[in-house]
Amino acid sequence: MIYGLKQSLHTWYTKNLKFLTDPGFQDSEHHYNMYIHSIFKLILLVYADDLVITSPNLHHISWIQYLLVTEFEITDLKAAHHIYL
């Protein structure tokens, strides 16, 4: 468990970055917490320990959710109706 440590955010960011770059995600030039998979047209936003996944293709969203479940303990909150950045 990494919560409660002064370096926990850095540890979480490093683990996310390693996990996301392996299947082909790249850092966005526009936002430091946005990752883009250009082949599958997936966008993943990271806010603390929350993730927002968007894509025009539901199969691609299922693919990244499967990868996330293999690495992290996650809860799918289904479709977001509003996102405030």
Q: What is the pLDDT of residue 80?
A: 83
Q: What is the pLDDT of residue 6?
A: 58
Q: What is the pLDDT of residue 14?
A: 73
What is the gyration radius of the CA atoms in the chain, in angstroms?
A: 13
CA dihedral of 6, 7, 12, 18, whole degrees rounded to 10: 180
pTM: 0.73
Q: Which residues pair with 37 in a beta bridge?
A: 42
Q: What is the pLDDT of residue 60?
A: 94
Q: For the chain, what are the domain ranges?
A: 8-71
Residue located via tokens 């025009």: 56
Mean pLDDT in consecutive groups of 10 residues from the start of the chain, 85 residues: 56 74 86 89 84 92 90 85 76
